[in-house]
Amino acid sequence: MQDQPHALSRFSVLVATAEEFEQFTNDTLPELLDRAAVHTRKFLKETGQWADDVAHEKLALRWGYELLERFLVCGRLEVPCRPFFLLDSLAAKFFSQPDPMRYHRGLLTPLGRFLDGLASKAVISRDALMALFYHLYGFGQSQVVKVLGLDAMDSQRIYKNFGRWRRDGWQRTVEEIGLTEPELSSLEDQKSQDAKRVSTDAGRLLGEVQTHYRKSEPEHFPCLSGEQWADICRDGHSYDYRVWHLAMCRECLEIVCRFRQGEFPDIPVPAVDLYVRPLQKNGLMVEAGVNGGNGHGMATRRANSRLS
Amino acid sequence: MEWQHEEQIRAYRDTLLSALRARSGRRSGEQAEAFQVFVNQESIGVLDGSRGDTSRISVSRTRAIHTVEIRSESGELVAGVCMQDFDRKTVQFRAGRSTFDISVHNRPDAGTVRVTLQAASSAWARIPNQLAAAMARLSSSVAPVRVPFWATVQAGLVLAVLFLVADRFTDRLELHDMTRRQALSSATQPLEAKLQDTRLALARQEQLLHQLAQTQEETVRTIKTQQQTFEGLHRTVETVVQNQKQLGVNVKAVRRGEKPAGDRTAQAVEAQVNKVLRSMESDRERVFNHIFHLADSQERIARQQQKLERDMVSLQNRELRMSFEQQAVAVAKMMSAQEASKDVASVEVSSEPTVEQKPESKVYLVTFWVSFQDGTSEESIEQLIHEIKGRKGPSNAGWYPIEVNLPKPQTPDEMIESLKKTKIVKAITTSLNTTPAPK
């Protein structure tokens, strides 16, 4: 534990350049993380969402970590500054936004934390977004390619997404969520013992989680009707909508899967089937049978549909 | 149990710290293919870094932009900007070989973001670009116009010619082999048949050569046409370039305030124009001066007019006053003539107020004639006139006409009686026609 005057002097340190900022933040990373966690804890207490248990402490640390990650990138541009005070202002600004984080007591269980962390990561990581199809429904790459109606180039991208996720994405995400190996094993055990109950619980939480995190792409938030999805599947347009929304909406995924089944009988109707660990390389990897999007009602992707 | 929890939390904290340290270590080395752009925690699109060129994404929001984040496909935060409500920032980040230019502008009514990705492609990805550049350089030696499409066509034609030449060469080799084989088999085949085969082979070779010649001719024609097109394009471009240069020189000269060299006609025209402009300028100044003087004169005239109006008013007043006075005298004369028979001194009282008289003041003008004692000095007379605040007219046979403005309380008779008591007054009359006998 540091002595109080020394800690106070560090709090008010002024850094003048980006290099000084990096040096200082590297040296004071633990204090900065604690401070960010304190802000989160304060926010949870003020909003009546706090309880003195491990789950809440981990939640505070995780949100503090995400805040600190942003601070480390953005803070370099704010020099000269006092880093601790800058972190305070960043946290205050972040928590003053409406509904900045997803909080639900059910999401503090290992299962809830897993689903919440996965969806939270999927918002910012395409690897995690594609991995959702496997972790939630057990879809392999080829099935994802078929369901989304991707051409050859984009199906390669799916394989890369799965590869990166398998290599280090999943591990990093699980660490950031704070799930321990015993907790992961416990989840797997629960599934092997009572798969139906786990699926029911996961399905219930999934609705909450997906609805919340789908807000991060407002344009792709609303669900479409069966006819609209059929139109998209036939003409192959709205690539971004397909990729984002189907990964984040179980109901729409069911509609699309039923539509695709006429063409690809091996595509199942998606039911929540939780997979805790990533798809292994020798698992369900089957070469995609989509012929470039042509002749299957799948037009090629608008490569940069949202690039200006 | 409590201890276990603390251990668990500490381990989690250490994990997160390790992740943060690893993140800062990874920042400069990672080369991602696609980057997701987030504005205010909302995804707005993807920048493709695999194409090796510039990608751009821009968005406008009706509210202020607080954060802009760029993340790799694995979710790694590679660049980010935090903004104030009314703020403007332009920053640059490097992520691996890619460079991001982020420009954010928050105005009171909206916020706008523009993110540009300058992606430097890998060595393998650069090969097609380098090839294209080499082709462009090659084409520039034939035609200076560096049009990649034409360069590609030309290169294709060159390759086609090379292929045809190679084909011809191989055909010749085959012909040579065939001839040799035929020579070997000549011992076994009849002479006539061998001759026939040779003729057929020669005809076939001749046909091939003819086709080759035709193809070559077509190719040459095409190349010539292309060259002509290139030359035309080149000339056009040269003309455009010269025009642009000339334009640039002119613009520079104009900027420096100099005249373009070597253009005498333009100089003459410009000098003429300048002269006309200068003369117009002087004319304009003259006109301005005239206008100024006119305005001054107008003002003076207006002042004089006002003064004249004032003088006229005062003159009119004076004339009116004199006219009234004369009328009053005439009326007084008439009245004194009527009352003369009664031998009673009467006083002519003006029925109407004079011009100076205000109706409310009730001052009456009384005119009468006074005869003074002999030997009365003019000074004494003037003093008396002054005392009664009257005015004296010229003497007529020892009678002095005197006008007095009487205020209402005092009647003319009272004033005349008081005057009669004065030592120097010999007699007073209100009319000269009936001259009273002096006392």
Structure tokens at B419: 């005057």
Sheet hosting strand B42-48, strand order edge to edge: B42-48, B34-39, B67-72, B77-82
Structure tokens at B313: 């008013």
Q: Do residues A73 and A193 both lie within one domain?
A: no
Q: How many domains does chain A have?
A: 2
User: Could you give the CA distance from residue B18 to residue B16 in angstroms, rounded to a whole number?
Assistant: 5
Q: Do residues A74 and A130 both lie within one domain?
A: no
- The closest of A57, A30, A27, A33 to A44, measured between CA atoms, is A57
With left for phi above 0 and alpha for psi between -120 and 50, is residue A149 left, alpha or beta?
left
Strand bridging mode B34-39 / B67-72: antiparallel
Are B87 and B13 a contacting pair, CB within 8 Å? no
Confidence of residue A115 (pLDDT cuts 50, 70, 90): very high
What does each C-alpha distance from B82 to A199, B89, B99, B113, B417 come to in angstroms?
Answer: 40, 9, 18, 12, 112
If one counts every other C-beta atom within 10 angstroms of the C-beta of residue A21, the result is 21
Q: Do residues A119 and A88 both lie within one domain?
A: no
Q: Which range among A100-104, A178-182, B145-149, B238-242 shows the weakest confidence by mean pLDDT?
A: B145-149
Q: For residue B302, what pLDDT is reported?
A: 77
- The closest of B17, B32, B21, B24 to B75, measured between CA atoms, is B32
Residue at which a domain ends, from A32, A64, A95 = A95
Q: Do residues A197 and A248 both lie within one domain?
A: yes
What are the respective helix, strand and coil percentages of chain A, to the nearest 5?
70, 0, 30
Burial of A102 (0-12, 13-18, 19+ CB in 10 A): middle
| Residues near A136 by beta carbon (within 8 Å), at least 6 away in sequence | A202, A206, A250, A270, A272, A273, A274, A275
Residue at which a domain ends, from A95, A114, A148 = A95
Out of B41, B55, B75, the one facing A125 most closely (by C-beta) is: B75
Say if A292 falls within a structural domain. yes
Among residues of chain A, what percentage have pLDDT more than 70? 86
> Given CB atoms, is A77 within the 8 Å cutoff of chain B?
yes
Asked if the model's pLDDT at residue A44 lies above 60, the reply is yes
Asked if B24's CB is within 8 angstroms of A22's CB, the reply is yes
Out of A33, A93, A127, the one facing B17 most closely (by C-beta) is: A33
Neighboring chain A residues of B15 at a CB cutoff of 8 Å: 175-176, 178
- Structure letter (DSSP) for residue B361: G
Q: Do residues A235 and A148 both lie within one domain?
A: yes
> Given CB atoms, is A20 within the 8 Å cutoff of chain B?
no
Collapse the DSSP code of A161 into the 3-class scheme (helix H, G, I; strand E, B; otherwise coil) and give the result: helix
Say if A1 falls within a structural domain. no
Q: Do residues A118 and A255 both lie within one domain?
A: yes
Neighboring chain B residues of A304 at a CB cutoff of 8 Å: 46, 48, 55
Q: Which range among A34-38, A107-111, B59-63, B125-129 shows the weakest confidence by mean pLDDT?
A: B125-129
Chain B closest CA to A240's CA: distance in Å? 9
String of DSSP letters for A178-234: T--HHHHHHHHHHHHH-HHHHHHHHHHHHHHHHHHHGGGSGGG-S---HHHHHHHHH
Scanning the structure block, which residue is given the tokens 């991602």? B32
Confidence of residue A174 (pLDDT cuts 50, 70, 90): very high
Q: For residue B264, what pLDDT is reported?
A: 62
Say if A25 falls within a structural domain. yes
Say if A241 falls within a structural domain. yes
Out of B8, B43, B55, the one facing A307 most closely (by C-beta) is: B55
Structure tokens at B333: 């004369």
Interface probe, candidates B2, B13, B62, chain A, greatest A C-beta count within 10 A? B13
B-facing residues of A in 278-297 (CB < 8 A) are: none
The residue in chain A having the minimum alpha-carbon distance to the alpha carbon of residue B75 is: A125
Model ipTM value: 0.77
CA dihedral for A156, A158, A163, A168, sign (positive or negative): positive
Say if A252 falls within a structural domain. yes
Asked if B15's CB is within 8 angstroms of A178's CB, the reply is yes
Chain A closest CA to B136's CA: distance in Å? 27
Q: For residue B256, what pLDDT is reported?
A: 65
Say if A5 falls within a structural domain. no
Asked if the model's pLDDT at residue A102 lies above 90, the reply is no
**Which backbone phi and psi does A276 adopt, to 5 degrees?**
-80, -40
Asked if A128's CB is within 8 angstroms of B13's CB, the reply is no
Q: For residue A283, what pLDDT is reported?
A: 57
Asked if the model's pLDDT at residue A88 lies above 50, the reply is yes
Compute and round to an integer the Cα radius of gyration of chain A: 22
Chain B closest CA to A106's CA: distance in Å? 20
Q: Do residues A161 and A254 both lie within one domain?
A: yes
Say if A246 falls within a structural domain. yes
> Given CB atoms, is A18 within the 8 Å cutoff of chain B?
no
Bridge partners of B106, per DSSP, are: B111
Structure tokens at A144: 């994802």
Q: Do residues A76 and A224 both lie within one domain?
A: no
Q: Do residues A139 and A257 both lie within one domain?
A: yes
- Specify the length of chain B in residues: 439
Say if A2 falls within a structural domain. no
Q: For residue A295, what pLDDT is reported?
A: 30
Q: Of A202 and B321, which is predicted with more confidence?
A: A202
Buried b (16+ CB within 10 A) or exposed e, B29-40: eeebebbbbbbb
Asked if A61's CB is within 8 angstroms of B12's CB, the reply is yes
Asked if A73's CB is within 8 angstroms of B91's CB, the reply is no
Structure tokens at B207: 């046909």
Confidence of residue A56 (pLDDT cuts 50, 70, 90): very high
> Given CB atoms, is A126 within the 8 Å cutoff of chain B?
yes
Q: For residue B153, what pLDDT is reported?
A: 56
Q: For residue B404, what pLDDT is reported?
A: 84
Residue at which a domain ends, from A63, A95, A127 = A95
Q: Do residues A120 and A84 both lie within one domain?
A: no
Asked if B81's CB is within 8 angstroms of A307's CB, the reply is no
In the predicted model, what is the mean pLDDT of chain A?
Answer: 84
Going residue by residue through chain B (439 aa), what tens digit of pLDDT does each one get? 567 788 889 999 999 999 888 876 665 445 667 888 988 888 888 888 776 678 889 988 888 888 899 988 888 888 888 887 778 889 888 877 788 899 999 988 888 999 998 876 555 555 555 555 555 444 444 333 344 445 555 666 666 667 676 666 665 655 555 555 555 454 445 566 767 777 777 777 777 777 777 777 776 777 777 777 667 776 777 777 777 777 777 777 766 665 445 556 667 777 877 887 777 777 777 776 777 677 777 777 777 777 777 777 777 777 777 777 777 777 667 766 666 545 444 444 444 444 444 444 456 778 888 888 888 888 888 888 888 888 888 888 888 888 888 776 677 788 888 888 888 888 888 876 544 444 3
Out of B16, B77, B89, the one facing A73 most closely (by C-beta) is: B77
Q: Do residues A112 and A193 both lie within one domain?
A: yes
Note down the domain range covering A246: 106-306
User: Could you give the CA distance from residue B439 to residue B421 in angstroms, rounded to a whole number?
Assistant: 12
Average pLDDT rounded to a whole number, residues A253-278: 91
Asked if the model's pLDDT at residue A119 lies above 70, the reply is yes
Neighboring chain B residues of A169 at a CB cutoff of 8 Å: 74-75
Q: Do residues A40 and A143 both lie within one domain?
A: no
Asked if B17's CB is within 8 angstroms of A72's CB, the reply is no
Q: For residue B52, what pLDDT is reported?
A: 66
Q: For residue A20, what pLDDT is reported?
A: 93
